[in-house]
A and B are shown apart, each in its own frame.
Chain A
């Protein structure tokens, strides 16, 4: 049985739920990014010298941001609820499934949700800024970034033992990333010390690569690709350790 087949078997329940509640699922992952686009792109951008240039600048950032917002909270909360309240996470561990399949299966619904949401945002972004470059690499990046942030959500859902801890993690890590990682403005304008911290965060590199693909005047940095790969590996190992050692 291949890993992909087992991954789908794990994800089946979450995907069925998502299919049955697709409007709510999409609304919850699209309202935030669309508001950012409206408030920053047209509100703040409208007062700038060249509003359309700023809208074009933030479209890749908001799509990058959506790979985080559409995955992290849904995956982490679902896993937390399935572990602590429904106890249904145990059912996965009782089935003859490889740990890698469980990890990828629980991440998959986040990836699907983010891919759909980002595709809609990409269409909206293209309507607003037809100058952006549409390339298949955008979808590769959306999927890879969604895997990374879904793994972050999975690890958070496996580690935390209370919903309050998850909310704290969200406030301390996810929300700062949302605003500071080059999604809405150039993080190089921040003080040097802050810029180092921002550079270490994964969303910075998703934004940077997304801009490199979508905007002609930007390029894709190899360092960003390497850092994303390192994040995926570390998060995967963390999830594997938690499940293998019955720490969840």
Chain B
């Protein structure tokens, strides 16, 4: 059975330092007044991986990502992007980063093509190469028919795609995606997942935040779970599951409440189920959702 998992130091050991790290965050603290939105977190993002930040609303995901991209001031700690500390080398760090923010941050008065071109110009792509770069990048997502539409006229899914394409126009080494599929329908979500996988397969490191467990489980090589501004676990999906156990016994009690117990092996789970008398139960493998709910205390905010 699970015992006191939340907040345990054992779960936040990040072995990333042994690999090539493209992002290194150390003891980062970000405050809004007296409130610490990010409270002393440390982690690494490895080159070439898809790294996910999973946490409930208000956990500190967006604040962390905005700090890494130099948009948010921090109180203490350090952030290093591919060897460039963002405190004193932020212009170099920015060249390596692409970000698609949670809110579509394109100029809605301009067309998709104009936005792409403006991003290319702002990222100092040589003027002779701007047109070719725009067409090449747009072709990744077959944006063709929408290129001359104003951003304000696009659907939510296409706005998001245009936003991601703008974020990669300068071929960043790391792409940060803040809640990339929030508010999208299932079809658009799967299209974006395919895009993320494709960009990753081309060598772009992806760092995404999400509160969709399915998204983290499906996309990410490693996942960090964050809550109340603190990192409470980090590892591969399988490593995170192992923190809780292997099997779950899900019971529905007389009052209709659902209760889940976790076990390291199937025999223990079966043994427990025999003590449940006539209650309905279900034995299944542990999912990332179990880990998430266990570590965040099932706190839905």
Q: Which residues of A contact B117 (CB under 8 A)?
A: 12
Q: How far is the CA of A90 from the CA of B119 in the complex (A)?
A: 12
- Picked from B71, B95, B121, the residue with its CB within 8 Å of the CB of A12 is B121
B291 within 8 A of A: no
In the complex, the answer to whether A1 meets B105 with C-beta atoms within 8 Å is no
Please measure, in the bound complex, the distance between the C-alpha atom of A245 and the C-alpha atom of B69, giving whole angstroms. 14
Stretch binding the partner chain, chosen from A51-59, A91-99, A176-184: A91-99
Complex: A95 Cα to B70 Cα, angstroms: 10
Contact B105 A13 (CB under 8 A): no
- Residues of chain A within 8 A (CB-CB) of B69 are 94
Question: Residue A246 contacts which of B72, B94, B99, B166 (CB distance < 8 angstroms)?
Answer: B72
Do B122 and A87 have beta carbons less than 8 Å apart? no
Q: Are A90 and B71 in contact (CB under 8 A)?
A: yes
Interfacial residues of chain B within 31-66, with CB under 8 A of chain A in the complex: none
B121 in contact with A17 (CB, 8 Å): no
- A-contact bits for B119-140, CB 8 A (1 contact / 0 none): 1011110000000000000000
Interface flag for B205 (CB, 8 Å): no
How many residues of B are counted as interface, with CB atoms below 8 angstroms from the partner's CB atoms?
A: 30
Residues from chain B with Cβ under 8 Å of A86 in the complex? 105-109
Q: Does the CB pair B101–A1 fall under 8 Å?
A: no
Q: B177 at interface (Cβ–Cβ under 8 A)? A: no
Contacts of A96 in B (CB 8 A): 91-92, 94-95, 123-124
**Can you list, as one digit per residue, whether each of A82-114 has a CB less than 8 Å from chain B (1) or not (0)?**
100011101111111110000000000000000
- B114 and A13: CB pair below 8 A? yes
Cβ–Cβ < 8 Å partners of A97 in chain B: 91, 122
Given A96-B95, A246-B71, check contact A9 B124 (CB 8 Å): yes
Interface centre among A1, A96, A245 (most CB of B within 10 A): A96
Number of A residues, CB within 8 Å of B: 22
**Smallest beta-carbon distance A246→chain B, Å:** 5
Closest CB of chain A to B108's CB: distance in Å?
5
A94 touches B110 (CB 8 A): no
Q: Does A132 reach chain B (CB closer than 8 Å)?
A: no
A102 closest partner in B (C-beta): B122
**A94 and B94 contacting across the interface, CB-CB below 8 Å:** yes
Find out whether the CB atom of B106 lies under 8 angstroms from the CB atom of A94: no
Cβ–Cβ < 8 Å partners of A95 in chain B: 94, 119, 122-123
Interchain CA distance A245-B101 in the complex, whole Å: 20
B248 CB contacts on chain A under 8 angstroms: none
Q: Does chain B have a CB within 8 A of A39?
A: no
Known contacts being A93-B71, A95-B94, is A88 close to B107, with CB within 8 Å? Answer: yes
User: What is the distance, in angstroms, from B78's C-beta to the closest C-beta of chain A?
Assistant: 17
Give the distance to chain A from B174, nearest Cβ to Cβ, in Å. 12
| B279 close to A (CB within 8 Å) | no
A10 part of interface (Cβ distance < 8 Å): yes
Which residues in B have their C-beta under 8 angstroms from that of A1? 124
List, in ascending order, chain B residues with CB within 8 A of A17's CB: 107, 109-110
How far does the alpha carbon of A95 sit from the alpha carbon of B172 in the complex, in Å? Answer: 11
Compute how far the CA of A203 lies from the CA of B73 in the bound complex, rounded to whole angstroms.
Answer: 36
A248 and B293 CA atoms in complex are apart in Å by 36
Which 6 pairs show the lowest CB-CB distances between chains A and B?
A87-B105, A95-B122, A13-B118, A88-B107, A96-B94, A96-B91
Between A and B, 25 residue pairs with Cβ closer than 8 Å are: A1-B124, A9-B124, A10-B122, A12-B118, A12-B121, A17-B107, A17-B110, A86-B105, A86-B106, A86-B108, A86-B109, A87-B101, A88-B105, A90-B71, A91-B105, A91-B106, A91-B166, A94-B71, A95-B119, A95-B123, A96-B92, A96-B94, A97-B91, A98-B91, A245-B73
